[in-house]
């Protein structure tokens, strides 16, 4: 057997860690159950999830509170259990560009954690939000012993990059009207009970100003587009609730 055929010490250590049982305290059990709510941790054994749970802390953020600012150090990443988080850039004069509006089951901060860089955006709770913070070192230890888990992380980051590229395409090539219609259709698709055809109603998850920024529109332009869609009979606006008389017709209107 050649030297190259011998398993490296790090791989052996990772396999030994992976096989080691974890003491199941009530807190570890509770955090493990919370972790398994996220698609990211689907497919992991209960022992693997319990090991990650050892590096997890629960965070509750009131509505409007800033979780971190641009330039803050990153010590791990977050998983949203309930509520909504806004990621945004802010300028020195207070102007804001919303990058993402995140929902339960989504994670954020992984890319910055891997790069070992400070945060490049700020994160703010749009509603009262419950989060899990997964510590960096505990997470890296788990990645070292599980190639399949590594692939899931890479797939998640790749999907986020794909969404960002789609955003750039939308901002560059699609009209403001198409961006708003596309957003409404995506919101309709997220609902588990949404009918495929006919009348549907959508409750906007946050303020129109925040959604406008996410779509790279001014609030005035966003409101004007809603008015135009309403005049065309494609939607009915009732505060933050958007009624769509015929979802199929709205889809057809998208260029």
pLDDT digits (tens, 9 = 90+) for 18-46: 555 666 788 999 999 999 888 788 778 88
- Alpha-carbon gap, residue 206 to 98, rounded angstroms: 12
In the predicted model, residues of the chain with pLDDT beneath 50 are 1-12, 14-17
pLDDT score, position 194? 61
pLDDT score, position 60? 96
**C-alpha distance across the termini of the chain, in Å:** 63
Cβ contact 127:63 at 8 Å? yes
Closest C-alpha to 55, from 151, 139, 161: 139
Closest C-alpha to 41, from 129, 132, 161: 132
pLDDT score, position 2? 44
pLDDT score, position 191? 67
pLDDT score, position 12? 44
Q: Tokens standing for 117?
A: 């860089």
How would you write 152-203 as a 3-class SS string? HHHHHHHHHHHHHHHHHHHHHHCCHHHHHHHHHHHHHHHCCCCCCCCCEEEE
Burial degree of 79 (CB within 10 A; 0-12, 13-18, 19+): buried
Strand duo 107-108 + 56-61: pairing: unpaired
pLDDT score, position 197? 77
Catalogue all structural domains in the chain, each as residue range(s) with its CATH number: 3-170 (2.60.120.10), 174-253 (1.10.10.10)
Task: Give this prediction's pTM.
Answer: 0.78
- Alpha-carbon gap, residue 72 to 158, rounded angstroms: 24
pLDDT score, position 58? 95
- Alpha-carbon gap, residue 105 to 96, rounded angstroms: 25
pLDDT score, position 222? 96
């Amino acid at each position: 057997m050649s030297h190259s055929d011998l398993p490296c010490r790090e791989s052996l250590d990772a396999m030994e860690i992976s096989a080691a049982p974890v003491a199941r305290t009530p807190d570890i059990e509770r955090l493990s159950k919370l972790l398994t709510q996220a698609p990211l941790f689907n497919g992991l054994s209960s022992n693997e999830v319990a090991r990650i749970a050892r590096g997890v802390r629960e965070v509750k953020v009131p509505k409007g509170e800033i979780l971190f600012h641009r330039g803050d150090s990153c010590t791990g990443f977050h998983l949203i259990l309930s509520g909504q988080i806004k990621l945004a850039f802010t300028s020195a004069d207070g102007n804001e560009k919303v990058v993402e509006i995140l929902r339960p089951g989504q994670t954020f901060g992984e890319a910055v954690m891997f790069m070992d860089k400070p945060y490049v955006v700020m994160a703010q709770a749009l509603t009262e939000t419950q989060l899990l913070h997964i510590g960096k070192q505990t997470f890296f230890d788990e990645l070292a012993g599980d190639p399949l888990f590594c692939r899931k992380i890479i797939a998640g980051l790749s999907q986020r990059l794909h969404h960002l590229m789609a955003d750039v395409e939308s901002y560059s090539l699609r009209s403001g009207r198409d961006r708003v219609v596309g957003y409404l259709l995506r919101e309709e698709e997220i609902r588990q009970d949404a009918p495929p055809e006919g009348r549907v109603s959508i409750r906007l998850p946050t303020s129109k100003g925040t959604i406008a920024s996410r779509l790279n529109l001014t609030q005035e332009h966003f409101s004007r587009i809603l008015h135009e869609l309403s005049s065309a009979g494609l939607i009915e606006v009732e505060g933050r609730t958007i009624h769509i008389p015929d979802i199929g017709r709205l889809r057809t209107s998208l260029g």
